[in-house]
Amino acid sequence: MALHPGILRNLREFFRKFTPSNHLYHMEEQWIRVFAPATIGNIGPGFDVLGLAIQHLGDVVEARRVAQGVYIREIHSEMPLTNDPRKNTAGIAATEVLRILNIEGGVELKIFKGMPSGSGLGSSAASAAAAAFATNYLYGQQLSREELILPATRAEEFVSGDFFADNTAPSLLGGATLTRSCLPLDVTKIGSLSNLIMVLITPKIVILTKEARDILPEQISLKQFVFNMANACLITAAFAKDDYKLFARSLNDEVIEPARARLIKGFAEVKQNALRAGADGVAISGSGPTIFAITDEAKKARFIEDAMLRTFAQFEVDCHSLITEVDNEGTRLLL
């Protein structure tokens, strides 16, 4: 039986008015879950160009399609974060992906933070990577992982004030990456280190990337440039060749670390004691305050961790710690 056109019109009008936020809720749409790993930016001397994805830490973003717009429905985080999609990196990345896809449609997001913001572990980049991946997945996976780096990095730029992909790229691709150029974006996955063990110590202080960039030297000497370039190049070779020993002797930074070390109380002593405890190298992760020490022997890792924690305790700095390895998968769908 056909409905009278007038009744049909009234029914449509009724649903338009009384379905709460009807552009938001598409009850039939399924939620998907995406994980994006935490990352170590710079990997020592490779300021803004080298980056590495790590295991056991990262953000989860749940997403589903809606008719239009980008909405952040929930944020589960120890720290307050904005749910304004124009200011949250997940919201910005999702918006950028929709813009690139140039399609009708939107997404609704739930963000589950797996690491603190301002810790130097690519927290904002992980949310951006997960949201970009999820949005692309919901709309037919038209973009490759590599193509998702740009929208995720644009989101990262909003919070850090600068355009660099050393967190977004490894979070999306896994392993270690190198950014040759930002615009146009040119990123290469360089490989992995199968026996690298990292001891991560995160002091419970917040260092905002923007602030940690503002204190960097405007000029450096030719000697410092050559030193950092040589070490960064060898780190690239080490990841490409899966050569831990080459990596261990190249984890040296004479430009950025000296400037940022003073933001981390006890840094020099913690580094020295980690090396004494058997670490093969120590560096600041991203813009800090997380510090990482490296070894290829599991039994040494606990010893190094203990030495670093005890040294920070002497400076009355509370810390989280984690022993981890390279994440080779990058951002992925969780089933």
Residue 161 CB, shortest distance to ligand HSE, in Å, is 10
Give the residue carrying structure tokens 């910005």. 92
Binders of ligand HSE among residues 156 to 195 (CB under 6 A) are 164, 166-167
- Dist. CA 22–CA 325, nearest whole Å: 45
* Pick 209 or 311: Cβ nearer ligand HSE: 209
Query: For residues 52, 55, 60 and 64, what is the CA-based torsion angle, rounded to 10 degrees?
Result: 80
108 in catalytic set: no
- Dist. CA 202–CA 197, nearest whole Å: 16
The catalytic position among 62, 108, 156, 257 is 156
At a CB cut-off of 8 Å and minimum separation 6, what does 227 contact? Answer: 45, 252, 254
Among 89, 135, 136, 287, binds ligand HSE (CB under 6 A): 287
- Dist. CA 151–CA 238, nearest whole Å: 29
Neighbouring C-beta atoms of residue 203, cutoff 10 Å: 24
Q: Does 36 bind ligand HSE (CB under 6 A)?
A: no
- Specify the stretch interacting with ligand HSE by CB under 6 A; choose among 13-21, 126-134, 209-217, 267-275: 209-217
* Pick 108 or 327: Cβ nearer ligand HSE: 327
SS3 200: strand
* Pick 153 or 287: Cβ nearer ligand HSE: 287
Helices then strands, counting H and E runs in the chain, come out as: 11, 11
Q: Are 133 and 144 in contact (CB under 8 A)?
A: no
Residue 47 CB, shortest distance to ligand HSE, in Å, is 6
29 in catalytic set: no
Q: Choose among 100, 104, 112: nearest CA to 31.
A: 112
Residue 51 CB, shortest distance to ligand HSE, in Å, is 8
Q: Does 209 bind ligand HSE (CB under 6 A)?
A: yes
Q: Are 154 and 113 in contact (CB under 8 A)?
A: no
* Pick 106 or 286: Cβ nearer ligand HSE: 286
Q: How far apart are the first and last CA of the chain?
A: 43
Residue 41 CB, shortest distance to ligand HSE, in Å, is 3
Binders of ligand HSE among residues 92 to 121 (CB under 6 A) are 120
Among 35, 42, 200, 283, binds ligand HSE (CB under 6 A): 42
- Specify the stretch interacting with ligand HSE by CB under 6 A; choose among 39-47, 132-140, 178-186, 193-201: 39-47
Q: Choose among 72, 193, 189: nearest CA to 135.
A: 72
Q: Please give the radius of gyration of the chain, using alpha carbons only, rounded to the nearest integer.
A: 22
The catalytic position among 39, 135, 209, 311 is 209
- Interface residues with ligand HSE (CB under 6 A) are 41-42, 47-48, 120, 122, 164, 166-167, 209, 212-213, 286-287
Active-site amino acid positions: 156, 209
